[in-house]
Amino acid sequence: MDWLREFSKNWKLRGAFNLYLSVSLIFSIPCGLLLQVFLNDIKKNFLLSNALTDRTSLLNSLMFSDLLRAMIDFTPIVVIILFFCLFFNLFYKHKIELIFKFLENYEEANIEDQNELSKKVFELVVKNIELKKDRFNSIQKTNELSKKLDTILHEIKNPLAVLSGDMEMLNTIYEPDDERVKRILSRMTRSEKRIQDYVNNLQIGQNMADMELDIRTIKSKDLLYMIKRELDCWEDNLSFRCKLKDLSQKIDLDLERFIEGLVNILKNSKRHAKNQITLSLYENESYLIVEIEDDGLGFSQEALNNYNKPYFSENPLVGNMGLGLYITDEIMKKQGVKMVLSNNVGANIKLFIKKA
């Protein structure tokens, strides 16, 4: 039946299916009627004569039963159904199966038909190949950039360490009387610290993929204790609320890394808050939730869309490298914590910790 596939090679699937169905009927109806005539002939010329010679036999009962008559009457329908199944299987093999094989291994399989499904699949495969190429090129560029950045960081760290030591020595042994010299030294110290922070953040950003976590099962009271201990170092404009009922609830966390991410969020809130930052710890049926909210202007739409991309910053000229929330999101994702940004009074960040 390869002629059917060749004949309907450029047909749409609906038209090809109708063709296969029509050919099935052309073959099945005559065959069914011929088989019915043949069975009737056997019944009349062979079975009937044998049944009449022995009226008490099982053959006699079967010969004159309604069951045999119904079976012979339905013979054409049964043949039509069988041929339909046969030609449907043929249609699947010619038109559908090859497409699945092409999807499994497009390098070896080949689609000869030009129907709407094969064209769409071919387009998707081509797009997938292009995406893989783009991804490969992107990975290559990222690796090259990473190597260059590692080289730059290495070149910066050595003179920076010397500068840091010199500044520390100057501040220790030299007490200038001139206010201008004091301001210069103070400005140089702040600038040196800012550069050091930049280098540290860049190193962290570079090593996020290789970060190893020590995730352990802890109780919510351990999380509460670490949060309170960290907040002791913060200013009075930060308020804390805990609404947990069961402090024995178990969670899986790398507590040290979690607090590191939480501090990053608090630092971000501190930069943008007007007067107040609120940290809340509460729960629902499935999660412990840590919520940080400030009374600043909130996140812009651009920040909501790009906060989890490295080096995105709305204020790159004022010392913000755009790594804080990116690093925090990576830390949280690696231990199964979901970070959600939104705007309420000001900026609002929720951390969802799944209960163990």
Number of residues that make up the chain = 356
Q: Measured in Å, how far apart are the chain's first and last C-alpha atoms?
A: 60
Residue 180 phi/psi, 5° resolution? -65, -40
Answer yes or no: is pLDDT of 317 > 80: no
Chain segment 247-262, per-residue pLDDT in tens: 999 999 999 889 988 9
Q: Looking at residue 179, what is its pLDDT?
A: 78
C-beta of residue 278 within 8 angstroms of C-beta of residue 346: no
Q: What is the pLDDT of residues 334-343, one digit of tens each?
A: 899 999 999 9
The span from the CA of 112 to the CA of 95, in Å, is 9
Between 118-132, 197-211, 266-280, the lowest mean confidence (pLDDT) is in: 197-211
The residue with greater pLDDT, 83 or 137, is: 83
Does pLDDT of 292 surpass 90?
yes
Tokens of 255: 């507590």
Cα–Cα distances in angstroms (integers) from residue 281 to residues 32, 179, 195, 294, 311, in the given order: 77, 47, 35, 15, 29
Using a cut of 0.85, tell me whether the model's pTM lies above it. Answer: no
Look at 171-175, 242-246, 310-314, 321-325 and tell me which has the smallest mean pLDDT.
Answer: 321-325
| Residue scoring higher pLDDT (97 or 43) | 97
Is 41 or 88 the better-scoring residue by pLDDT?
88
Looking at residue 152, what is its pLDDT?
Answer: 75
- SS (HEC) of 295-320: CCCCCCHHHHHHCCCCCCCCCHHHCC
pLDDT mean across residues, the chain: 80
Better-predicted residue by pLDDT, 173 or 304: 304
Residue 42 — left, alpha, or beta (φ > 0 → left; ψ -120 to 50 → alpha)? alpha
pLDDT value at residue 350: 95
Q: What is the H or E stretch that residue 353 is in?
A: strand 347-354
Q: Given a cut of 50, is residue 321 above it in pLDDT? A: no
Say if residue 51's pLDDT is above 70.
Answer: no
Which helix or strand (DSSP H or E) is residue 224 part of?
helix 220-231
Q: How confident is the model at residue 70 (pLDDT cuts 50, 70, 90)?
A: confident
At residue 110, the pLDDT reads 67
Which helix (H) or strand (E) element contains residue 219? strand 216-219
R_g over Cα of the chain? 39
* 240 confidence band (pLDDT: 50, 70, 90): very high
Write out pLDDT tens, residues 114-137. 778 878 887 887 888 888 888 888
Residue 222's pLDDT is what?
A: 93
- pLDDT beyond 80 at 68: no
Task: With CA atoms as reference, report the closest residue to 117 among 97, 132, 89, 131.
Answer: 97
pLDDT at position 319 over 70? no
| pLDDT digits 0-9 by tens, 343-355 | 988 899 999 999 9
Cα dihedral 144/148/153/155 (nearest 10): 150
16-20, 71-75, 295-299, 322-326, range with the lowest pLDDT:
322-326
* pLDDT value at residue 169: 78
For 242, phi then psi, to 5°, come to: -120, 125
Structure tokens at 232: 């002791």
Confidence of residue 210 (pLDDT cuts 50, 70, 90): low
Q: For residues 211 and 334, is the Cβ–Cβ distance under 8 A?
A: yes
Kindly report, residue by residue over 154-168, the tens digit of the pLDDT.
777 777 777 778 777
The average pLDDT across 218-241 equals 88
Segment 103-121 shows an average pLDDT of 73
